[in-house]
Structure 1
Amino acid sequence: MNRSTLSLFGAVAALAAVTGFATVTAPSGGTGTTKSAGTAAARLPVERSGLLCPAPSSSDLAETAYTSFTPKGGAANAKPGTAELVPVTVAGKPAKKPVITLKEPGRPVTATANGGESPALVGTADGALAPGWAAQQTTKVSGEGAGRGLFGLSCSAPDTEFWFPGVSTAETRQDYVHLTNPDNSAAVADVELYGPQGVIKSDAGEGITVPPHATVPVLLSTLSATKVNDATVHVTTRAGRVGAAVQALEDKVGGDWLTASADPAPGVVLPAVPADATSVRLVVFAPGEADADLKVKLAGANGSLTPAGAETLHVKSRMTASLDLGNVTRGEAGALVLSPSEGTRRTPVVAALRVVRGLKDKQEVAYVPATAPVGARSSVADNRAQGSVLSLTAPGAAGEVRVTASAGSQGGAPVTRTFKVKAGATLSVAAPVPTGLKGSYALTAESVSGGPVHAARILTLMEDRVPMFTVQPMPDDKGTVVVPRARNDLSVLDVRARD
């Protein structure tokens, strides 16, 4: 029987070509005749990355700022590359010009748009601009009513599955899940709703077609006549991939974007609860076949404590549970940490917070999903000279992170500071500001030592005595991929006849 064997190097190179995330280069000095000898895997910068930003607002009063940024040091010896965000196309019409183009790492670029006609954006970065590429859209809507507020969103990569606990189909809410397709073929998505009693039956959420390079907003209250205050949305794709984000609008407290929760896990961290929060509501969903029994802790400045009357939360399988925590922070910024109760199963969950600041008719709302650790590196764009607060939480062992404030979009020199976070505590600090800042800037956090640290940025803009704010999580930017090391072995490509 004839057999041909592909070397490990060749297999990895083929995988890299398919994914577009990394290219494997043969080690220098190889003769091509030595047999393959794999060593420890290498972590290499990605060579291409993609982001999607949903349509920012339908309000004529909307003022949107876009910021694009890649941190320095991501890919040594890489080609310069480009990073562009372009509007989604309309069938039969040519692609439009980029809304924002980034040409060098280390300094953000910005663009603005006004009104309610701004489209969704899709884009790619390659070369030296691909590792850690981040983009932010920040929209301020003045006035009163459901559309008022500060809507901040870190543009995200496309995927095939998303969890959004914290949505609602109540009369006081208008929640839209925006589905954006970056690819050349149509995507088909399913949108499922789960309330306190389990799945909310609906046929309208099945088989939603998202055309190539297009976006489709789905009003969640149209999927079912059932009205629930706290629900969970599960987005999956049958074909293709999409970007997904929920825009939540409330009658009296404005609105904001809700991004996907971190992947289901037995323990989760929800960072960046402001010190002056007047109302905090926790929403949790257990996607597996087992119930979850969770301990609820507030990680404050000096360690963790248990909120009185809210020590535990029982979450039934495939049902949404909620817990009203009131003004749980009591003047001290913190983070919610959920972990399995002692003696119970380690059941994975997803979670989010609804956070309100202000009183009476001067309230504003934001949403905080469960967030993965900073990991190797994470960046968030569109920071201002005032109003940017960095929240760092070490749920277990103490941790140390290095934070760099980039050069400003219009001028200024980078500044780097190192922060130590106590075990089980939250450090809330004014974000470092570049020297001589002009314009806006980006923050990049890197793990230095100790245990995992979870981070988020709170951006606040005061408007008519309303503390408009938005919270952007800072999980690992996945700017590198693990690639096995191997040497060329051309001899294994020999085709030999064997009995």
Structure 2
Amino acid sequence: MKRTTLSLIAAGAALAAITSVAAVAAPEEGPATAGRAAQQPVERSSLLCPAPSSSELAETTYTAYTPKTEVSAGSGTAALVPAARALADKDGKGEKDGEGKGAKDGKEAKPFLAVKKQGTPVTAEENGSGAPALIGLAEGGLAPGWSAQQTTVFPAGAGRGLHGLGCSAPDTDFWFPGASTAEDRSDYLHLTNPDDSAAVVDIELHGKDGALDSEVGEGIQVPPGSSVPVLLSTLTGKPQTNLTVHVSARSGRVAAAVQALDAKLGGDWIAPSAEPSDSVVLPGIPKDATAVRLVAFAPGSADADLKVSLAGPNGALAPAGHETLHLKSGMTTAVDLGELTRGEAGSLVLTPSGDSGKTPVVAAVRVLRGKGADQESAFIPAARPVGDRATVTGNAAKGTHLALTAPGKAAKVRVTASAGTEGGTPATKTYSVGAGRTLAAAIPVPDSLKGTYALTVETVSGGPVHASRTLTLSGDEADGVPMFTVQNLTDDRGTVTVPAARPEMRVLLD
């Protein structure tokens, strides 16, 4: 048989194999055509949670949840394990014990927290300084929209209050406006590495006069499968009341979050700001906020001139005396806005002012509730839009508040409250959010609720929509302090865009 004939037969067999794989992998709603991508449920999702506290008095609750998705309701796994064990489990070298707390005989350790099925949240508690940093992976039908939260009560000491943080996916670049190295503050940057090789991270600090000299923040090693806290005040010799922290990974990837501990004003986690943009939204400032401080930063080479507005229930208003904001490139700017909301929940919206151009910025607000010695603080960074769907866990029957903001076009939003961790029937409600307004939504609490529940927010039409969830404690459970924490709701990564593909004969030819 001639060589040419053999080549043609081989080419035909290879083409048949390619076509077969393409047919199996085709989207269920129809094949992607040239120039048309398809949205498909994700098959793997990772989450990282930093160690919540070094205090023996702290009480931490972890929650996790995967929303119901008809397209991918099949079997799967979703589990969080302590960071130190996560790497050991990969290597089959975990500790052996009788309680399944380590890998034994090369088998995986028992998860710290695992979701068993869609639509049912799960929870775990850990008190004291032993609460671990967690590394998690979800696969199959439990991956789309998998979300987790850690909520910690600090009854006393620096940072006293309610600290909440949504566990996040690893990345390589983060911005944190609102950090501080002031005398009363102890801010720790937590870096969590999920991989089996070390990550190398650079930390830059930007104050009111520009970048701070700090060689200590360069080339920080984050070992495999570990979480490392870095006290920001050790990176610079001069205290700075308002800082913007930039974290970038030279190699590897990490999750990053700043825990702010104030000796007088309580504390909370500072989640990363949305990526730099010329327009930003900081959603859900509580109606009873007693002081609001805006911290903003322009990371590029150009200054930024911004219009400042408060989107409330009846429309947008400019804060008196702070209608505009000028940001010098590379310098952190802070503005105290006082009792901004005055009895009605609202959202700050920053947009380009006049003909100043579209300069990307990052921003966050520090919010205080209470008076005198009973003040407590939380932070709201600039938020990404909800997108198609966002999920947040750890909501209680009382003390949970949801804010929805449509900074541009009006929107229709569907909110679903899941069953509880110990029982209950899901409930759903649809809301209309006016253009340029913030809606304090009356959450549809699940019937016969037991335990805590998850909230799923979906954009039905219009938008974009930005959202945040506030948890509050009061009375005896908070020792008279108005404890609270705020988390933004952003797209839960339930789907991924699959590029269009087709068989291509030319790949078979020399």
TM-score (norm 1): 0.91
The whole-number CA distance in structure 1 between the counterparts of 2:441 and 2:387 is 20
Question: Is contact 2:27-2:38 (8 Å) kept?
Answer: no
What residue number does 2:193 align with? 181
Deviations 1:267-292 (A, max 9, x none): 00000101110000000010111000
Aligned to 1:82, the other structure's residue is in SS state strand
- In 2 relative to 1, CA 24–184 (structure 1 residues): closer, same or farther, beyond 3 Å? farther
1:155 paired with 2:167, answer: yes
Q: From 380, 383, 386, give the equivalent of 1:368.
A: 380
What residue number does 1:45 align with? 41
What residue number does 1:475 align with? 490
Alignment of 1:202-351 (within 5 A): 202-351=214-363
Amino acid in structure 2 at the alignment position of 1:494: L
Deviations 1:301-337 (A, max 9, x none): 1000001011111101111111100001111110100
Amino acid in structure 2 at the alignment position of 1:25: A
What residue number does 1:65 align with? 61
Question: Is contact 2:27-2:40 (8 Å) kept?
Answer: no
1:88 paired with 2:102, answer: no
Question: Is contact 2:41-2:72 (8 Å) kept?
Answer: no
- Deviation at residue 400 of structure 1 after TM alignment: 1.0
Identity %: 60
Aligned to 1:222, the other structure's residue is in SS state helix
The whole-number CA distance in structure 2 between the counterparts of 1:156 and 1:262 is 13
- Deviation at residue 485 of structure 1 after TM alignment: 2.8
Aligned to 2:132, the other structure's residue is in SS state coil
What residue number does 1:135 align with? 148
1:118 paired with 2:131, answer: yes
- In 2 relative to 1, CA 201–10 (structure 1 residues): closer, same or farther, beyond 3 Å? farther
Q: From 213, 218, 225, give the equivalent of 1:201.
A: 213
Question: Is contact 2:159-2:260 (8 Å) kept?
Answer: no
The whole-number CA distance in structure 2 between the counterparts of 1:167 and 1:381 is 25
The whole-number CA distance in structure 2 between the counterparts of 1:98 and 1:481 is 27
Aligned to 1:140, the other structure's residue is in SS state strand
Question: Is contact 1:146-1:251 (8 Å) kept?
Answer: yes
Question: Is contact 1:141-1:149 (8 Å) kept?
Answer: yes
- In 2 relative to 1, CA 227–434 (structure 1 residues): closer, same or farther, beyond 3 Å? same
Unaligned stretches of 5+ residues in structure 2 = 1-6, 96-101, 103-109
- Deviation at residue 432 of structure 1 after TM alignment: 1.9
The whole-number CA distance in structure 2 between the counterparts of 1:171 and 1:58 is 20
Deviations 1:389-430 (A, max 9, x none): 000011111111100000111100110000111111100134
Amino acid in structure 1 at the alignment position of 2:317: L
- In 2 relative to 1, CA 448–77 (structure 1 residues): closer, same or farther, beyond 3 Å? closer
Question: Is contact 2:159-2:268 (8 Å) kept?
Answer: no
Aligned to 1:335, the other structure's residue is in SS state strand
Question: Is contact 2:159-2:265 (8 Å) kept?
Answer: no
The whole-number CA distance in structure 2 between the counterparts of 1:458 and 1:47 is 30
The whole-number CA distance in structure 1 between the counterparts of 2:139 and 2:435 is 38
Q: From 162, 179, 193, give the equivalent of 1:167.
A: 179
Q: RMSD over aligned Cα, in angstroms?
A: 2.2
- Deviation at residue 147 of structure 1 after TM alignment: 3.1
Amino acid in structure 1 at the alignment position of 2:281: V
Q: From 81, 105, 122, give the equivalent of 2:118.
A: 105
The whole-number CA distance in structure 2 between the counterparts of 1:485 and 1:37 is 6
Amino acid in structure 1 at the alignment position of 2:366: R
The whole-number CA distance in structure 1 between the counterparts of 2:479 and 2:126 is 22
Amino acid in structure 1 at the alignment position of 2:495: T
- Deviation at residue 438 of structure 1 after TM alignment: 0.6
Amino acid in structure 2 at the alignment position of 1:429: A
1:76 paired with 2:88, answer: no
Aligned to 2:373, the other structure's residue is in SS state helix
The whole-number CA distance in structure 2 between the counterparts of 1:356 and 1:386 is 20
Deviations 1:113-171 (A, max 9, x none): 0101212000100111111110000001112x313110100000000000000000100
Q: From 460, 471, 486, give the equivalent of 1:459.
A: 471
Aligned to 1:204, the other structure's residue is in SS state coil
Deviations 1:375-401 (A, max 9, x none): 100000000000000000111111111
The whole-number CA distance in structure 2 between the counterparts of 1:387 and 1:163 is 29
- Deviation at residue 39 of structure 1 after TM alignment: 4.9
What residue number does 1:19 align with? none
Moved more, 93-102 or 266-275: 93-102
The whole-number CA distance in structure 2 between the counterparts of 1:310 and 1:94 is 56
The whole-number CA distance in structure 2 between the counterparts of 1:395 and 1:216 is 37
Deviations 1:21-40 (A, max 9, x none): xx980479x9xxxxx96251
The whole-number CA distance in structure 2 between the counterparts of 1:161 and 1:208 is 14
- Deviation at residue 46 of structure 1 after TM alignment: 0.8
The whole-number CA distance in structure 1 between the counterparts of 2:508 and 2:205 is 55
Amino acid in structure 2 at the alignment position of 1:121: L
Amino acid in structure 2 at the alignment position of 1:468: M
Question: Is contact 1:149-1:254 (8 Å) kept?
Answer: yes
Unaligned stretches of 5+ residues in structure 1 = 15-22, 31-35
Amino acid in structure 1 at the alignment position of 2:221: T
- Deviation at residue 61 of structure 1 after TM alignment: 0.8
Count of residues in Structure 1 that have an aligned counterpart in Structure 2: 474
Deviations 1:470-497 (A, max 9, x none): 00100111221111233345x344224x
Higher relative contact order (CA closer than 8 Å, sequence separation 6+)? 1
The whole-number CA distance in structure 2 between the counterparts of 1:27 and 1:154 is 31
